Amino acid sequence: MSEHDITFDAMGSHVRLLIGEPGTGLAPAAEAAERARRFIHGFDAALSRFKPESELCALNRDRRERVPASPLLRQAVSAGLAAAERSDGLVDPTLLGAIEDAGYTISRAGMSGMPLTEALAEAPPRHPAHPSPDQSWRRFEIDDAAGEIVRPAGLGFDTGGTGKGLAADLVAASLRGYSRFTVDCGGDIRIGGADALVHPYEVFVEHPLTGERAYVVRLGSGGVATSGLNVRIWRRADGRYSHHLLDPATGEPAWTGLVGATALADTALEAETLSKAALLSGPERARELFAERGGLIVHDGGRVELVGPLAAAPRIRIPADAGLAGVAR
């Protein structure tokens, strides 16, 4: 059982592809990996808000209400709107102005962030985030027939909250027919292939405070994603700490009592949406969001809490061919 393993940087993160044996008539795994790598770089070039020449930046600059858009951009905007819908507006793709006001104006890839423990010590009292009262994201429409995106001029869109999950799912779709595969776009992971059901992948969940392995999930199919405060944290000019996950109701960084959330779902996009929504909601609502498919939340103090099916999974090692199982480490 050979597997091609390729790693590169894109979308401000590390991307890793593991591709098994090709099915009949499919290209060798190395060729598929190279094609996927090109796709992800193209995805990044078109949809990065940090690249002025990207199609996303062009959309946000455009003063027309109806803007011609490529199928990829329409798909990305559609994914962002679906995430907002799925999370009742908590994962809001229209907070572009607020996130820039908070100081996140350039890619922070490769930059060392401020210590999360210090930020937590100085953070305001914890409370759940809430959707924006005006729900601006509902003013976006996709007109696929005309190939246009319709929205009030000046209302910016940020695909950052859902882009990596969408990219992982799109690459995964292109790998149907390979014996098994993993697409890891900066921690938003999609797994598939018939052999993966028999020989599931081990996915390590990183602890946001210690950087150590908090848990190991064995996954034979579907998506897993993590949101956390440990990266992209900085000090504002006024000295307050800030991070990239904003409370849509206030436009301010959300401090909810959680520092990390990892979600399991059918797709990477859904897992990413659920993990962000859970982190923004705080512990109580996070347990409800993860009840069906399972997940893991990390409290401010560092305590790791398993939720849903993960909490019910036996805390013992299970034979590798047993499908989905959890292994506490």
Partner 1 sequence: MTDSRRSARRPGPGTVLWGSVALFAVLFALLTLQLSSGADPTLSGATAAAPVQVRKVIKRRIVTTIVPRPGTTSVSSGPVTSSTAEAPAEAVTTSAS
Pull the structure tokens for residue 327. Answer: 């292994």
| Alpha carbons 41 and 227: distance in angstroms, whole number | 22
Q: Is the dihedral of CA 288, 127, 223, 313 positive or negative?
A: negative
Q: Does 9 bind partner 1 (CB under 8 A)?
A: yes
* Tokens 């960084």, residue located: 253
* Tokens 């930059």, residue located: 111
Q: Closest distance between partner 1 and the C-beta of residue 65, in Å?
A: 28
Q: Does 286 bind partner 1 (CB under 8 A)?
A: no
Q: Closest distance between partner 1 and the C-beta of residue 154, in Å?
A: 27
- For partner 1, the closer CB: 136 or 262: 262
Cβ-based neighbour number of residue 103 at 10 Å: 17
Residues contacting partner 1: total by CB under 8 A: 54
- Which of the residues 157 through 186 are near partner 1 (CB under 8 A)? 164, 182, 184, 186
* Tokens 């008539």, residue located: 25
Q: Which of 90, 83, 64 is nearest to 143 (CA)?
A: 64
Binding mask 186-215 for partner 1 (x = CB under 8 A): xxxx-----------xxxxxx-x-------
Looking only at the bridges linking them, the beta strands covering 222-228 and 258-265 are antiparallel
- H/E stretch holding 169: helix 163-174
Dihedral angle of Cα 316, 319, 324, 327, to the nearest 10 degrees: 30
- For partner 1, the closer CB: 84 or 296: 296
Pull the structure tokens for residue 71. Answer: 């199928």
Q: Closest distance between partner 1 and the C-beta of residue 315, in Å?
A: 11
Q: Does 106 bind partner 1 (CB under 8 A)?
A: no
Candidates 67-75, 144-152, 220-228, 285-293; binding stretch for partner 1 (CB under 8 A)? 220-228
Binds partner 1 (CB under 8 A): choice among 26, 35, 45, 78: 45
- For partner 1, the closer CB: 71 or 319: 319
Binding residues vs partner 1 (CB under 8 A): 1-10, 12-14, 16, 18, 29-30, 33, 37, 41-42, 44-45, 53, 164, 182, 184, 186-189, 201-206, 208, 216, 224-232, 260, 262, 316-319
